[in-house]
Structure 1
Amino acid sequence: MITRRTFAAAALASVSALGLLGGAATAQDLRDITFVQPSPSAINSFPVFVAIGEGYFEEEGLNVTVEAINGSGAVLQALSAGQAHFGRPGPGPLLAARSRGVDAVHIYNVAARSNFGIAVPQDSEIQSVEELKGKVIGTGTADGAEVGFARNVMTGANMSEGADFEFLTVGDGGPATAAFMNGEIAAYSSSTADTAILNQRGMAVRDITPVEFGRFFGNGIATMAETIENDRDLVEAWSRAFAKGHAFALDDANREAVLAHLAAGNPQEGEDKEFQSALFDAVRSKTIPTDDSKHLGWYPAEVWKEWEDALVKGGEISGPLDDLSAAWTNEFAEIGNAAVGE
Structure 2
Amino acid sequence: MPTCSVKGLPSDGGPTNASEKSLKGGDDDMKKTLAAIVTAATALGSAPAWAQDLQEVDVLTPLPRHTAWFPLIVGEALGYFEEEGIAVNLVNGGDLPATAFLENGQVDIAALDPSEVILAEERGFDFDVVYEVMHGAVEGIFVLESNPAESLADLAGTTIGIVGESDRGLLLSALGHAGVSEDDVTIAVLGESAPLLANSLQTEQVSAIVGAISDFVAIRSQDIQIKDVLPPEMGNQPANNFAMRADAIGGENEELVQGFFNAWAKSAYAGLHDLEATRAMVMEADPENWVNEDLGTIFLEAAQDLHRPDGEVFGDVRHDVWQGVIDEMSEVGMIESEVSTDEILNDHYLETANDFDRAEVEEEVQAYKDSM
The reply to whether TM is greater than 0.5 is yes
Relative distance call for 1:140 and 1:86 in structure 2 (3 A) is farther
CA contact (8 A) 2:158 2:207 kept: no
Match of 1:265 in 2: 285
* Cα distance change, pair 165–272 in 1 and its aligned pair in 2 (3 A): same
Q: Secondary structure at the match of 1:299?
A: coil
Instruction: State how far apart, in whole Å, the 2-side matches of 1:259 and 1:312 are.
Output: 41
d(CA) in 1 for partners of 2:257 and 2:168? 29
Change in CA separation of 1:136 and 1:277 when aligned onto 2, cut-off 3 Å? closer
In structure 2, the residue matched to 1:339 is 356
| Match runs of 1:310-321 below 5 Å | 310-321=328-339
With 30-39 and 308-317 compared, the bigger mean Cα shift is at: 30-39
Query: TM-score normalized by structure 2?
Result: 0.70
Q: Does 1:244 align with 2:262?
A: no
Aligned position for 1:109: 132
Q: Distance in 2 between matches of 1:60 and 1:280?
A: 26
CA distance in 2, matches of 1:102, 1:332: 20
Structure 2 counterpart SS, 1:33: strand
For these two proteins, the number of residue pairs brought into alignment is 319
Residue segments in structure 2 that go unaligned for 5+ positions in a row: 14-49, 360-372
> Given residue 39 of structure 1, which amino acid in structure 2 is its aligned partner?
L
Matched residue type, 2:118: L
Please show how residues 208-223 of structure 1 align to structure 2 within 5 Å: 208-223=229-244
1:65-104 alignment runs, 5 A limit: 65-68=89-92, 74-104=97-127
Offset of residue 63 of structure 1: 0.9
Q: Does 1:119 align with 2:110?
A: no
Is 1:121–1:205's contact at 8 Å kept on the other side of the alignment? Answer: yes
**What is the correspondence of 1:11-22 to structure 2 with a 5 Å cutoff?**
21=9
Deviation per residue, 1:285-304 (Å, 9 max, x gap): 232222xx342221221111
User: Are residue 234 (structure 1) and residue 256 (structure 2) matched?
Assistant: yes
Which of 198, 208, 213 is equivalent to 2:219?
198
* Contact 2:159/2:205, CA 8 A, preserved across alignment: no
Quote the offset at 1:270 in angstroms: 2.9
Once residues 104 and 236 of structure 1 are traced to their aligned partners in structure 2, the CA distance between those partners, rounded to angstroms, is 17
The one of 28, 51, 59 aligned to 1:35:
59
Structure 2 counterpart of 1:296: 314
Contact 2:162 2:209 in 1 (8 A): yes
Partner Cα distance (2:137, 2:110) in 1: 18
How far did 1:80 drift? 3.2
Aligned-pair identity (%) = 23
CA-CA distance at 1:241 after TM superposition: 0.8
Q: Deviations over 1:132-184 (max 9, x none)?
A: 57856525573xxx6665454233235677x7778887664549738957999
Q: Is the 8 A contact 1:155 1:314 kept in 2?
A: no
Determine helix, strand or coil for the equivalent of 2:356.
helix
Displacement of 1:125 in angstroms is 8.3
Q: Partners of 1:171 and 1:46 in 2: how far apart?
A: 27
Given the alignment, which residue of 57, 78, 92 partners 1:54? Answer: 78
Contact 1:23 1:30 in 2 (8 A): yes
Q: Which amino acid aligns with 2:292?
A: D
Note closer, same or farther for the CA distance 1:119–1:92 as it changes in structure 2 (3 Å cut): farther
Q: Which residue of 2 aligns with 1:283?
A: 303
Is the 1:110–1:221 Cα contact (8 Å) retained in structure 2? yes
User: How far 1:310 sits from its partner (Å)?
Assistant: 0.9
TM-score between the two structures when normalised by the length of structure 1: 0.75
Once residues 307 and 211 of structure 2 are traced to their aligned partners in structure 1, the CA distance between those partners, rounded to angstroms, is 17
Does 2:83 correspond to 1:64? no
**Do the aligned residues in 2 keep the contact of 1:240 with 1:337 (CA within 8 Å)?**
yes
What is the alpha-carbon distance in structure 2 between the residues aligned to residue 107 and residue 173 of structure 1? 37
For residues 311 and 160 of structure 1, do their structure 2 counterparts lie closer, same or farther at Cα, with a shift above 3 Å needed?
farther
Q: State how far apart, in whole Å, the 1-side matches of 2:54 and 2:82 are.
A: 7
CA contact (8 A) 1:138 1:185 kept: no
Q: CA deviation at 1:334?
A: 1.9
Please tell me the residue identity of whatever aligns with 2:219: L
Q: Per the alignment, do residues 139 and 177 of structure 1 end up closer, same or farther by CA in structure 2, a change over 3 Å counting?
A: closer
Partner Cα distance (1:82, 1:179) in 2: 46
Cα distance in 2 between the residues matched to 1:266 and 1:53: 13
Unaligned runs of 5+ in 1: 6-13
Secondary structure in 2 matching 1:249:
helix
Q: Per-residue displacement from partner, 1:207-253 (whole Å, max 9, x unpaired)?
A: 2222333333333322332332433223211111101111111212x
Residue number in structure 2 paired with 1:10:
none
User: Which residue of 1 is the match for residue 343 of structure 2?
Assistant: 326
- Counterpart of 1:339 in structure 2: which amino acid? F
Two-structure CA RMSD over aligned residues (Å)? 3.8
**Contact 1:113 1:289 (C-alpha < 8 Å) held by counterparts:** no
Question: Per the alignment, do residues 77 and 201 of structure 1 end up closer, same or farther by CA in structure 2, a change over 3 Å counting?
Answer: farther
SS of residue matched to 2:118: helix
CA contact (8 A) 1:37 1:45 kept: no
Deviates most, 298-307 or 96-105: 96-105
Q: AA paired with 2:254?
A: R
Q: Which amino acid aligns with 2:300?
A: F
